[in-house]
């Protein structure tokens, strides 16, 4: 009886659960990309990309 209840719930909502889990992993991946970009940011590269003329070069 319990398995029938669980299988009915999965059949009705399984795609929503899977989509929610996939979205959570996508957001987690974006968070890690952002943290990686922040951790390995090189300010001297960022400044040289925005300023073509460098006063100390």
- Summarised one tens digit per residue, pLDDT across range 19-57 is 999 999 999 999 999 999 999 988 887 766 666 555 555
Confidence at residue 56, expressed as pLDDT on a 0 to 100 scale: 57
- Residue 19 covered by a domain: yes
- Residue 53 covered by a domain: no
Confidence at residue 46, expressed as pLDDT on a 0 to 100 scale: 75
Confidence at residue 57, expressed as pLDDT on a 0 to 100 scale: 52
- Residue 28 covered by a domain: yes
C-alpha to C-alpha distance for 6 and 55, rounded to whole angstroms: 68
- Residue 22 covered by a domain: yes
C-alpha to C-alpha distance for 2 and 40, rounded to whole angstroms: 51
- pTM summary value: 0.60
Query: Are the C-beta atoms of residues 11 and 17 closer than 8 Å to each other?
Result: no
Number of compact structural domains in the chain: 1
C-alpha to C-alpha distance for 27 and 25, rounded to whole angstroms: 5
55 is written with which tokens?
């006063």
Confidence at residue 50, expressed as pLDDT on a 0 to 100 scale: 62
- Containing structural domain, residue 40: 6-46
């Amino acid at each position: 009886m319990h398995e029938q209840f669980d299988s009915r719930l999965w059949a009705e909502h399984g795609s929503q659960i899977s989509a929610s889990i996939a979205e959570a992993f996508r957001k987690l991946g974006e968070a890690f990309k952002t943290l990686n970009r922040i951790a390995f940011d090189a300010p001297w590269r960022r400044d040289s990309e925005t300023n073509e003329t460098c006063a100390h070069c």
